[in-house]
Amino acid sequence: MVPGFEDYTVPTTVHLDRPSDGLPRVLDSRSQVERAAAELREGHGPVAIDTERASGFRYGQRAFLVQIRREGAGTFLIDPEAVGSLAVVDDALRGVEWVLHAATQDLPCLRDLDMHPDRLFDTELGGRLAGLRRVGLAAETEELLGFTLAKEHSAVDWSKRPLPEPWLTYAALDVEVLVQLRWAVEDLLREQSKLDWALEEFEAVRSAPPAAPRKDPWRRTSGITKVRNRRQLTAVRNLWLAREDLARNRDISPGRLLPDSALVAAATTMPRTVPQLLKTPGFHGRAASREAPRWLTALQEARNAQDLVPYTVASDALPPVKAWDTKRPDAAARLKVFKPVVADLAEQHGMPTENLLVPEHLRRFAWDPPHSTSQEAVAHALEEIGARHWQIQLCAPALIDAWLRVERDAPGPAHG
């Protein structure tokens, strides 16, 4: 014990409050990005990448800042609004492993910038498979590396220009130790004999096609179950489309123009005049009054419509599970047995149930199982649904055993 330090406690973590190489400037010209690409090409090892969006402020989910760091090159902060396509950076990183945290959030906006990884390591997904209780970037970094990161700027308006220095510091730190975290997560996965599983999951995320546009997205309007008839439903549709068009043109989040609750309130009361409209809950502020003719037109067209929208649309979605007992009792019986089996298996392997087998995959398997309980038939059915090879290897035997128990307890012939 050093004299005078008897009561001193050695800190268990180190707080990172500034980038090790200093805060880089934001690149906002093609020539700057081209020079950065050349430096990244000469770097070595994996590349850490992150993006910052302006969710809740701007229309859509595009990136307003892209952070990139690679050993031997350093950290680069790029303003994609100013420079557009980052294909030159993508080309410089051909064949290089990209390290992202929660890649499904960043890959869509990176694709919009012409950036497509050849190889991927997702530290968030890897942490889930390794059984970490907290898988946020700051939490993983603290637990595995002993560094703490501030997260107070995660939900700010990243479309703001110029970006404040504290925000840029936060953004640069997000990629500062990401590659180091990648190696720590790999060590954890390797110790648990899960690395091959994780690599298969990463490749599935990397190669997944872009999500198909949602059919009738207006049907997801919060509170839409309050509408009482098809004309009101048509009014919700009209108001939603009018708001979407205005939001797109103004590049603003639709909810900042009018909340969903306002659309539903107007659809259920159908105001005819501006004063009536502005007394409707949620219709306040400049977007409500200045654009009142837009909203009233949407409502008037719903009042006059002959072709009203249907209550429901054709979908390949499964019925709600609570309806299975009536619609397909045998599927309900299978699911009741399958769910705890998969949950127990996930607990045995130290990971969340949804990472062992996606709940939608399990429901589809229970709803429409193969015609045989053979290993080959069950494996093929799971693969067709979308399960990965490692998931099938773990889950198929347990599901077959559970299914056979269901068949033994049920009347009628068993599957063979």
Give the tens place of pLDDT for each residue, 210-254.
988 888 999 999 999 999 999 999 999 999 999 999 999 999 999
Report strand pairing: 74-78 vs 63-71: antiparallel
Q: Which pLDDT value is given to residue 1?
A: 40
Please tell me the pTM assigned to this model. 0.91
Averages of pLDDT over each 10 residues, the chain, 416 residues: 41 82 96 98 98 96 98 98 98 98 98 98 98 96 92 86 95 96 98 98 96 92 95 98 98 96 98 97 91 98 96 86 95 96 98 97 96 96 97 97 85 51
Q: Output phi, psi for 74, to 5 deg.
A: 100, -165
Q: Which pLDDT value is given to residue 315?
A: 79
The Cα 365–Cα 341 span in angstroms is 14
Complete DSSP assignment for 270-327? ---SHHHHHTSTT--SHHHHHTHHHHHHHHHHHHH-SSPPPS-----PPPPGGGHHHH
Q: Which pLDDT value is given to residue 10?
A: 40
pLDDT digits (tens, 9 = 90+) for 135-186: 999 999 999 999 998 777 778 999 999 999 999 999 999 999 999 999 999 9
- 201, 352, 354, 391 from 347: Cα distances, Å: 19, 7, 11, 14
